[in-house]
C-alpha cells in the first residue's frame, strides 16, 4: 500500500496563498504557489520559508496565473526549487506579467518607504526583486490543455479549461489508480469573454475552491447599473474610479463599456485604463484567441475606444484632466498599484464614485471600503474618503455556490473525501453543509499547515 501526504500550505481557511503539496516516495508535486494577501498575519507568512524541503519538489502545477496562485514562485526558486513549473501557455504568460509587475511594485514601494521613512523596517526590503522573477521564469514549461502528462511511473496529470481567467484550468492527477482533482478557481457559467468551465467526471479526492460557497451572485443588470453610474458621473462632472483585477475583469469591463457606447446607451465619455499589467494582458488576449470569445475585430474596436495609460506621468495628467471620466486601474482589492494614486488624490471629493467589481479579501482596502471606512491608509498617510461607493458582485470571475455545485455535479462516483479550500471559514462552513445535503459526500475543511495522509 502506497502512502500520499497532502500538506495544506496555503488557501486553507483563507482565500489567498494557494499551495497544496503532494508528497510520495515516487514524486513530489506542488499544486499552485501563491502569495498571501489581506490579513497582516497571513502576509507575514510570505516572508517565511515553507515547512517542507522545496529542493525535493519535482513539479509545480499552476491552475492559473493570479498572484494568489503563482506569486510565491520567485521565493520557491530562491529557496532551492529546481524542478519544472507547468501551466498552459496563456497561464505562464499571465504569471510572467503578474510576477514582473509584483516585483516592480515591491521594489518601488520599498524605495518609497525608505525615502519617506514610513516603514517600521529599516531598511524596508522588497519580498523579491525583478532579478528573482527573471531567474524563476527559466523553470516555466508550457503544456497543452487536455494533454496527458506523465510525471512519474505511476503519476499522470491533465489540465482542463475552467473559465475564471484566460488560461485557467482545473487539474486531474492520477496517482497509483486514485484521481485527485484540484478545481483551481472555477469560472462562471455565463461570462462576457470566456466559455463555460469544463467539468470533471470522476474524483476520488476533490479539492474545491469555496470563495463564494455561502452565496449566490445577485441577479444584477450590469449594463443598467453602469449606465446609471456614468450618467451620475457626467452630471456631477466627477470621476468614476473602478479598481480592477488586471486579468479578465479589466478586459471584461472594457468590453462592457465599449458595448454600451456602441449601443448609444452612454455618450463618448473619456475612459482611461491605467494598468501597465492590464495593458500587457490585453496582448495575451490578442495572442491566444482560442481561449476567449472576442473576435479580432471586436478586440481592435474595443482597444481603439479606450485610452491606455502607460507612464506614471500620464497618470497625473489623467488625474488633472477636469473632464468627467472613467478610470479603470489596478488593483482589484485596492492593495497596491496605480489605483492608490487616484484614490489618494480624488477619494476625498464627493463628485468621485468608487465601483468595486470583485471579491475583497479580509483586511484589504477594498474590504474596508465595503465595511464603510471613511479613511484609508495609503503610502503611510490616512486619506479621507468622501467618494460614493458601489459594489458589483455579479462581475466576479468566481463561480457562486450554485455554479460550484453544478460544476462538481458531473462527478459520477462518490469521492472518498472532498476538501474545501480557497475560502473564508464562514463561507466554507456553509458550503460544507450544502454539499453534504445535496450529495451526501464526506467533506473536510483543512487548517493551515495541516497534513492529511491518504492510502493509495
Q: Give pLDDT tens digits for 302-320.
A: 999 999 998 989 999 999 9
pLDDT exceeds 80 at position 334:
yes
- Best CA proximity match to 27, nearest among 100, 75, 83, 78: 83
Nearby residues of 9 by Cβ (< 8 Å), 6 or more positions away: 17, 19, 20, 21, 50, 51, 52, 448, 449
What CA–CA distances, in Å, run from 32 to 108, 215, 279? 26, 25, 25
The H helix count followed by the E strand count for the chain is 14, 22
Q: 266 with 118, same domain? A: no
Same domain, 238 and 266: yes
Q: Verify that 307 and 234 share a domain, yes or no.
A: yes
Share of the chain above pLDDT 90, in %: 85
Q: Are 87 and 159 in contact (CB under 8 A)?
A: yes
Out of 307-311, 437-441, 447-451, pick the least confident: 307-311
Which runs of E-coded beta strand occur in 65-177?
A: 84-88, 140-143, 149-152, 155-161, 169-175
Same domain flag for 68 and 208: yes
Tell me: do 30 and 133 sit in the same domain: yes
Give mean pLDDT, residues 251-256. 93
Q: Are residues 201 and 226 in the same domain?
A: no
Evaluate whether 232 touches 352 at the Cβ level (below 8 Å): no
- State residue 191's pLDDT score: 92
Choosing from 356, 379, 395, the residue where a domain stops is 395
Same domain membership, residue 168 and residue 257: no
359-379: per-residue pLDDT in tens? Answer: 898 889 999 999 999 999 998
Tallying the residues shown for the chain, one arrives at: 456
Statement to judge: residues 159 and 250 lie in one domain: no
CATH number at residue 85: 3.60.15.10
Q: Is the pLDDT of residue 14 over 90?
A: yes
Euclidean distance between CA atoms 286 and 309, whole angstroms: 18
Q: What is the pLDDT of residue 112?
A: 83
Q: Which of 395, 415, 445 is the last residue of a domain?
A: 395
21: nearest Cα among 51, 41, 47: 51
Mean pLDDT over the full length of the chain = 95
Are 403 and 377 in a shared domain? no
Confidence band of 442 (pLDDT split at 50, 70, 90): very high
pLDDT for the residue 276: 82
Strand order in the sheet with 417-421: 149-152, 155-161, 169-175, 178-182, 205-209, 417-421, 443-444
Which tens digits make up the pLDDT trace of 55-88? Answer: 999 999 999 999 999 999 999 999 999 999 999 9
User: What is the layout of strands, in order, in the sheet containing 3-10?
Assistant: 140-143, 84-88, 59-61, 28-31, 19-23, 3-10, 451-455
Number of separate domains in the chain: 2
Q: What's the pTM? A: 0.91
CATH for 364: 3.40.50.10890
pLDDT of the residue at 124: 86
- Is residue 308 classed as helix, strand or coil in its secondary structure? strand
For the segment 74-133, what is each residue's pLDDT rounded down to a tens digit?
999 999 999 999 999 999 999 999 999 899 989 988 888 888 877 777 788 999 999 999
Lowest mean pLDDT, pick from 135-149, 385-399, 417-431: 385-399
Question: Could you tell me the three cell numbers for 175?
Answer: 496517482
Of 355, 372, 395, which residue is a domain's last? Answer: 395
Q: How far apart are CA 259 and CA 261, in angstroms?
A: 5
Kindly state whether residues 36 and 136 are assigned to the same domain: yes
Structural domain range at position 361 = 222-395
Res 171: pLDDT: 98
> What's the pLDDT tens digit per position in 193-211?
999 999 999 999 999 999 9
Does 138 lie in the same domain as 11?
Answer: yes
pLDDT at position 396 is 85
Alpha helices in 202-295 (DSSP H): 222-236, 249-262, 276-287
Q: Indicate if 293 and 211 belong to the same structural domain.
A: no
Q: Give the Cα separation of 398 and 95 in Å (integer).
A: 18
Higher pLDDT, 202 or 280: 202
Confidence of residue 259 (pLDDT cuts 50, 70, 90): very high
- Given this model, what pLDDT does residue 361 score? 84
Amino acid at each position: 500500500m502506497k502512502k500520499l501526504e497532502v500538506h495544506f500550505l496555503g488557501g486553507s481557511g483563507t482565500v489567498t496563498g494557494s499551495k497544496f503539496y503532494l508528497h510520495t516516495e515516487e514524486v513530489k508535486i506542488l499544486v499552485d504557489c501563491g502569495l498571501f494577501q489581506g490579513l497582516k498575519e497571513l502576509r507575514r507568512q510570505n516572508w517565511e520559508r515553507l515547512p517542507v524541503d522545496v529542493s525535493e519538489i519535482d513539479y509545480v502545477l499552476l491552475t492559473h496565473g493570479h498572484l494568489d496562485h503563482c506569486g510565491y514562485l520567485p521565493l520557491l526558486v530562491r529557496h532551492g526549487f529546481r524542478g519544472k513549473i507547468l501551466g498552459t501557455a496563456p497561464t505562464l504568460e499571465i504569471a510572467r506579467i503578474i510576477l514582473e509587475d509584483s516585483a516592480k511594485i515591491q521594489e518601488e514601494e520599498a524605495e518609497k518607504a525608505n525615502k519617506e521613512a514610513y516603514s517600521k523596517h529599516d531598511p524596508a526590503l522588497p519580498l523579491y526583486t525583478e532579478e528573482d522573477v527573471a531567474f524563476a521564469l527559466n523553470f516555466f514549461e508550457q503544456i497543452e490543455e487536455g494533454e496527458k502528462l506523465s510525471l512519474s511511473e505511476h503519476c499522470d496529470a491533465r489540465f482542463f479549461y475552467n473559465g475564471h481567467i484566460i488560461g485557467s484550468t482545473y487539474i486531474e492527477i492520477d496517482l497509483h489508480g486514485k484521481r485527485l482533482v484540484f478545481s483551481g478557481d472555477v469560472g462562471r457559467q455565463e461570462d462576457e469573454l470566456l466559455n463555460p468551465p469544463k467539468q470533471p467526471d470522476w474524483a476520488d479526492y476533490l479539492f474545491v475552491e469555496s470563495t463564494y460557497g455561502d452565496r449566490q451572485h445577485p441577479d444584477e443588470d450590469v449594463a443598467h447599473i453602469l449606465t446609471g453610474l456614468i450618467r451620475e458621473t457626467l452630471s456631477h462632472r466627477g470621476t468614476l474610479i473602478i479598481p480592477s483585477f488586471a486579468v479578465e475583469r479589466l478586459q471584461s469591463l472594457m468590453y462592457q463599456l465599449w458595448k454600451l457606447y456602441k449601443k448609444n446607451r452612454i455618450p463618448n465619455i473619456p475612459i482611461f485604463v491605467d494598468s501597465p499589467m492590464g495593458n500587457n494582458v490585453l496582448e495575451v488576449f490578442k495572442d491566444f484567441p482560442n481561449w476567449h470569445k472576442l473576435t479580432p475585430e471586436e478586440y481592435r474596436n474595443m482597444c481603439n475606444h479606450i485610452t491606455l495609460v502607460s507612464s506614471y506621468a500620464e497618470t497625473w495628467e489623467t488625474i488633472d484632466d477636469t473632464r468627467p471620466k472613467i478610470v479603470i486601474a489596478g488593483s482589484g482589492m485596492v492593495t497596491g498599484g496605480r489605483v492608490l494614486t487616484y484614490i489618494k488624490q480624488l477619494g476625498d471629493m464627493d463628485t468621485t464614485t468608487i465601483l468595486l467589481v470583485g471579491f475583497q479579501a479580509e483586511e484589504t482596502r477594498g474590504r474596508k471600503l465595503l465595511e464603510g471606512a471613511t479613511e484609508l491608509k495609503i503610502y503611510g498617510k490616512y486619506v479621507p474618503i468622501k467618494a460614493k461607493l458601489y459594489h458589483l458582485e455579479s462581475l466576479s470571475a468566481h463561480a457562486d455556490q450554485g455554479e460550484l455545485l453544478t460544476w462538481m455535479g458531473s462527478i459520477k462516483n462518490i469521492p472518498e473525501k472532498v476538501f474545501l479550500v480557497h475560502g473564508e471559514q464562514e463561507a466554507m462552513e456553509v458550503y460544507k453543509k450544502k454539499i453534504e445535503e445535496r450529495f451526501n459526500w464526506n467533506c473536510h475543511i483543512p487548517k493551515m499547515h495541516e497534513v492529511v495522509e491518504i492510502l493509495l
